Amino acid sequence: MSSNPKIDGTNIFPVPNHTLPYWRSDLHEIDNYRSTEQLPQECDILIIGAGLSGVSTAYHLLDDNPSPPSIVLLEAREICSGATGRNGGHLFAPHLYVDKVVREYGVDAARELMLFCKSQMFAMKSVVEKENLDCDAVLTRYFETCLTQSFADEVKKQYDEQLKIGLDFIQDVDHIGPKHVEKLSGVRGAKGGTTTTALQLWPYKFVTQLLACLIKRTSINVQTHTRVISVSSSEDGWNIVTTPRGSVRTRKVIFASNGYTAGISPIFENKIVPIKLTCSHITFPKDTLSPPHLSHTYGLNFDGPAFRDYLIPRPDGGVICGGAKSTYIKVDKNLWYPLEY
């Protein structure tokens, strides 16, 4: 892969002229925030990336901690301008992948993984309520629809097997057969499907408002527009995080840099490989009535989970629609790169 500069996993960094996603259409006052004019010289913990993972990690390290560590949070561009600011704003436990986990790691591992995934919905809901975050968080039902008979049969087979082996999370999954699936889902041509609990929200508002809470009541040092170039070790056991604005010495480094990680640390080349996905916000003309609100969020499976499109209704009458992986994923891997977002 590294022989082709277009897909060189060690040359991946956030670009300055990135596209503007829908989630960033209503910016928070901390979008370009810097706690101090100069970078701190050292800290206990340095977090790379101010998206959902980075800010959530900082929150759990600092919230209600009587002896909080000193934390520096570095972001290459604006707060939540990477993947978190561009995703579907949707969270659910993907039970259709469990059969593979059972085969490779056993029933107990599958149970632990799925319960962890499901717990994250309620953990995020709890934080929204505790911090009074205004981010359109709604607990709803996710309708996974199958548009081919072969995949509908596979989903029913997996569902029956999960019931048989007694996986706890299956109690929250409801299988819908061909007799009623079109009427209940509203998806024409659906052959079968399942529903399960899901959480939808405005991810940018969740992240920025949560970080604003930390800035207000903790000593976290936030530095936007500070791209990490490299991380190295010093002879005295410290980590040296290098940026164009200078270096920071830190005891621990947390990489919350997602697809850009190999750009910072080349050892992750071919281990963390980003690819392009498609997500859009579709709205109705201003001079027309708002369409009826959909009561579920949706997965539209054309040929298995790898070729799923999704549709997330928004309170404003629009929808978030993403996927389209089937149009390019098997064609040419060069189309995955470069990552200009």
Region 254-270: what's the mean pLDDT? 92
Q: What is the pLDDT of residue 60?
A: 97
Q: What is the pLDDT of residue 28?
A: 98
Quote the CA–CA distance of 46 and 231 in Å, as a whole number: 11
Contacts of 253 (CB under 8 A, 6+ apart): 45, 46, 47, 48, 231, 239, 241
Quote the CA–CA distance of 25 and 31 in Å, as a whole number: 12
Q: What is the pLDDT of residue 292?
A: 83
Secondary structure element (H or E) that encloses residue 32, with its range:
none
The residue that leads in pLDDT, 326 or 71, is 71
Lowest mean pLDDT among 149-153, 208-212, 250-254, 324-328: 324-328
Lowest mean pLDDT among 121-130, 169-178, 282-291: 282-291
Q: What is the pLDDT of residues 206-258, one digit of tens each?
A: 999 999 999 999 999 999 999 999 999 999 999 999 999 999 999 999 999 99
Q: How confident is the model at residue 72 (pLDDT cuts 50, 70, 90)?
A: very high
Quote the CA–CA distance of 288 and 277 in Å, as a whole number: 31
Buried b (16+ CB within 10 A) or exposed e, 155-166: bbebbeebeeee
Tokens of 338: 């470069």
Query: CA torsion angle for 207, 213, 217, 218 (degrees, to 10)?
Result: 0
DSSP 324-338: -GGGTTTT-GGGG--
Quote the CA–CA distance of 89 and 23 in Å, as a whole number: 9
pTM listed for this prediction: 0.92
Q: What is the phi/psi pair of residue 307, to 5°?
A: -125, 55
Contacts of 257 (CB under 8 A, 6+ apart): 48, 49, 228, 263, 264
Q: What is the pLDDT of residues 92-121, one digit of tens each?
A: 988 877 888 999 999 999 999 999 999 999
Which domains are seen in the chain, by residue range? 5-86+204-268 (3.50.50.60), 90-201+276-336 (3.30.9)
The residue that leads in pLDDT, 89 or 324, is 89
